[in-house]
Amino acid sequence: MTDGAAMLLTGGAGRLGTELRALLGGVVAPGEEAMDITDPAAVAAVLDEHRPAMLIHAAAYTDVAGAETNRALCWRVNVEGTRNLVVEAMRRGIFFVHISTDYVFEGTTGGYAEDDPVGPVCNYYALTKLAAEAVVRVLPEHLVIRTSFRPRQWAHPAAFTDVYTSQDYVDVIAPMIAQVIRRAREIPHTTLHVATERKSAYDLARRRRPDVRPGSKREVAVRLPDDISLDVSRYRRLASQWRDA
């Protein structure tokens, strides 16, 4: 018998997971073919094989528009998949780090703190992520990280001046999350917002695409929040303690 792995990551081939794999040395990251999280037997077998001390759950159905027409699949992956992992983590005493989203909030006033009331959510994807958080909270040892990120490059020719966010590029956010994961057991909270300062989507876009055009969310059919920004003061306090330590 070999020693168990320190960390097992789901969604390791995804946008965030790819960055986390590079940042967290030695993490085991079985892909969907090895561990489809909607298959309880596959989840149990992979955890038996690797016996991790910590599970980092970054796998999800993330196609926000697709979720509206593909609700059953979105629920199966985001809620039932999370439940399958939680059941096995509970049995084995595994510390659970769950990646969640700013979309659990309504997105009207912004500046949402960890303990602010969640909802009402504005789309089906957000509903499943909120339900997944509730599933994770049955575990005695867990950390829910609410975050939001973009690919490394701004992909669109325009960006909204009337949507406010604390999201950032994935190569900015992932190192912050990696540090939180390394410190997860010392964090005296079960929810942590990991993001940067409030800004418009347009201001964020200009940082990596100076020629991006200003646009308005009124130009698109989907409903978008006015201000989904997170209060990140809890994260900042912790990060400054870690810097000083």
Ligand X SMILES: NC(=O)c1ccc[n+]([C@@H]2O[C@H](COP(=O)([O-])OP(=O)(O)OC[C@H]3O[C@@H](n4cnc5c(N)ncnc54)[C@H](OP(=O)(O)O)[C@@H]3O)[C@@H](O)[C@H]2O)c1
Cβ contact 76:32 at 8 Å:
no
Q: Which is nearer to ligand X, 147 or 200 (CB)?
A: 147
Q: Rounded CA gap, 48 and 34, in Å?
A: 13
Residue 148 near ligand X by CB under 6 A: yes
Query: Does the annotation count 112 as an active-site position?
Result: no
The least distance separating ligand X from the CB of residue 112, rounded to whole angstroms, comes to 13
Q: Long-range contacts: 205-211, Cβ < 8 Å, 24+?
A: 205/154, 205/156, 205/159, 206/159, 207/169, 208/152, 208/153, 208/154, 208/169, 209/153, 209/154, 209/159
Residue 9 near ligand X by CB under 6 A: no
Q: Which is nearer to ligand X, 59 or 176 (CB)?
A: 59
What are the angstrom distances between the C-alpha of 20 and each of 7, 138, 153? 11, 25, 18
Question: What is the DSSP pairing of strand 199-200 with strand 164-165?
Answer: antiparallel
Q: Which is nearer to ligand X, 101 or 245 (CB)?
A: 101
Nearest to residue 135, comparing CAs of 97, 88, 188, 82?
Answer: 82
> How large is the C-alpha radius of gyration of the chain?
18
**The only residue of 15, 137, 198, 208 in contact with ligand X, by rule CB under 6 A:** 15
How many chain residues are in contact with ligand X, going by CB under 6 A?
Answer: 25
Residue 16 near ligand X by CB under 6 A: yes
**The only residue of 14, 107, 215, 225 in contact with ligand X, by rule CB under 6 A:** 14
- Part in contact with ligand X (CB under 6 A); list of ranges 13-21, 136-144, 207-215, 227-235: 13-21
Q: Which is nearer to ligand X, 38 or 70 (CB)?
A: 38
Nearest to residue 15, comparing CAs of 157, 236, 167?
Answer: 167
Residue 58 near ligand X by CB under 6 A: yes
Q: Which is nearer to ligand X, 33 or 244 (CB)?
A: 33
- Part in contact with ligand X (CB under 6 A); list of ranges 8-16, 87-95, 110-118, 201-209: 8-16
Q: Rounded CA gap, 228 and 219, in Å?
A: 19
Q: Rounded CA gap, 177 and 102, in Å?
A: 14
Catalytic residue among 124, 125, 164, 202: 125
**The only residue of 5, 7, 8, 17 in contact with ligand X, by rule CB under 6 A:** 17
- Part in contact with ligand X (CB under 6 A); list of ranges 54-62, 135-143, 185-193, 196-204: 54-62
Residue 215 near ligand X by CB under 6 A: no
Triad 159, 164, 168: Cα angle to 5°: 75
Cβ contact 90:44 at 8 Å:
no
Residue 168 near ligand X by CB under 6 A: no
Positions touching ligand X (CB under 6 A) are 10-11, 13-17, 31-32, 36-38, 58-62, 77, 81, 99, 101, 129, 147-149
Q: Could you give the residue numbers annotated as active site?
A: 125
